[in-house]
Amino acid sequence: MDPVSRRNVLAAAAAAGTVATAVAAAQAATFGNPDEPPQGAINTTGNPASVTDPGPQNPAIASQFPAAFSPPATNVGDMPMFWASFNNAPRRIQNGGWARQVTQADFAISEEISGVNMRLTRGGIRELHWHQAAEWAYVSRGVIRITTIDSEGRANVEDVAAGGLWYFPSGMPHSLQGVGDDGGEFILCFDDGKATEYNTLLVTDWFAHTPPDILALNFGLPAETFANIPLHQLYIFQGQMPAPLAQDQAQAAGSAGRMPNPSSFQLRRHAAHPQDRRRRGAHRRQPQFQGSADHRRSPGHHTPRRPARNALAPECG
């Protein structure tokens, strides 16, 4: 047995420190966000549009949470908040865009709705995926190309511009791509407060968790075709600009044909209903209570006065 000496202790400590450093370095790659490459601006070298936030924004709130606007790679956004705003929700930044969300974990009273704010660069793709909650969206900027597939294998491809909506029922596979001059930005809403961007099923997840022999039967290809399936999801990634819409639609239709009903609705292409205009006009013509002629022509009639506003109360209407 070697005698214990100061030199031996220091040597052992140095060796242990080297091992600990190596272990820490290995764990650093897997701690927090499981994505490869890790989330954050580290992914966006050569593609600065992936980080930009066209807005709308609330700088007063965002400035108080700088780590949310550009979080470190280990931040998966699971820190509970006492109040909810997209401006203090950590962005999950990938090469091709970003997303941030507010769920029941952030806003405990929200039982039936959760929301995601997402931005895709020009050509940026949100990987094909599906989830248990139904999804509707409002495009606030740019143009988004949506691709959907129904239970009978029929596909639709549609472009949704700013001011447009889309709706995907629960379980409908769909993918998104920014095709505007600067991509696009939109708000997603799910009909479940617990729905998050982390509990969706991506097509890469499905491939990675399905045995190659089952994939071979499904696609009619040799099992060896699926021998080297990547184990890391794509989520958001930078892609090439797609073909013109009509060409994409024809290719997606294939032999199965297109879905009978579209998934999008463009608000700006539809004028207000005439009945809505009449209602607004009637509202504008409604006489004010204190100044009506009926009260003015009644001598001695006492017109009740409105209670004074509290100077600290918010203005309404």
Any idea which residues carry the catalytic annotation? 126, 129, 131, 135, 174, 197
End-to-end CA distance of the chain: 87
- Identify the CA nearest to 235 among candidates 70, 77, 37, 103: 37
The answer to whether 106 touches 89, Cβ cutoff 8 Å, is: yes
Angle at 243 between CA 99 and CA 156, to 5 degrees: 70
What gap in Å lies between CA 295 and CA 81, rounded to an integer?
53
Token pair recorded at residue 309: 């506003």
The answer to whether 257 touches 151, Cβ cutoff 8 Å, is: no
Token pair recorded at residue 17: 């420190």
C-alpha distances (whole Å) from 15 to each of 20, 109, 149, 257, 263 are 9, 52, 56, 66, 61
The answer to whether 167 touches 135, Cβ cutoff 8 Å, is: yes
The answer to whether 91 touches 62, Cβ cutoff 8 Å, is: no
The answer to whether 172 touches 155, Cβ cutoff 8 Å, is: no
The answer to whether 163 touches 214, Cβ cutoff 8 Å, is: no
